[in-house]
Amino acid sequence: MDIVIGALISIVNQGLLYWRMRQLEYKNIINPKQVVNLARVSLIERLVLIGILLVFTMQRFDPLSVILSFFIINLGFAFYKQCQLKR
């Protein structure tokens, strides 16, 4: 169960990132200042939400399993995205 919880938090993290990237595309933001602003908001938002989720789940489940599964799934998503960009 610990691994599944870490994976779900990772999916939420990637989902928030994907949602913000789609907002960037739909709003046609070209101004570099607005892009940096949106990136900053996304970073803070994900840091707070994912941090809170990780803290609560690590209190209930094995912290090492939760963190390891979170990072491994996030690395898997990053590797997959890099492979998609190379095509």
According to the model, what pLDDT value does residue 74 have? 86
pLDDT of 1 higher than 80:
yes
**Which residues have CB under 8 Å from 10's CB, separation 6+?**
69, 70, 71, 73, 74, 77
According to the model, what pLDDT value does residue 32 have? 83
Contact criterion met (CB below 8 Å) for 78 and 13: no
**Which residues have CB under 8 Å from 11's CB, separation 6+?**
73
pLDDT tens sequence across 52-62 = 999 999 899 88
Report the predicted TM-score, pTM, of the whole model to 2 decimal places. 0.79
State how far Cα 38 lies from the chain centre: 15
According to the model, what pLDDT value does residue 55 have? 92
pLDDT of 64 higher than 80:
yes
pLDDT of 8 higher than 70:
yes
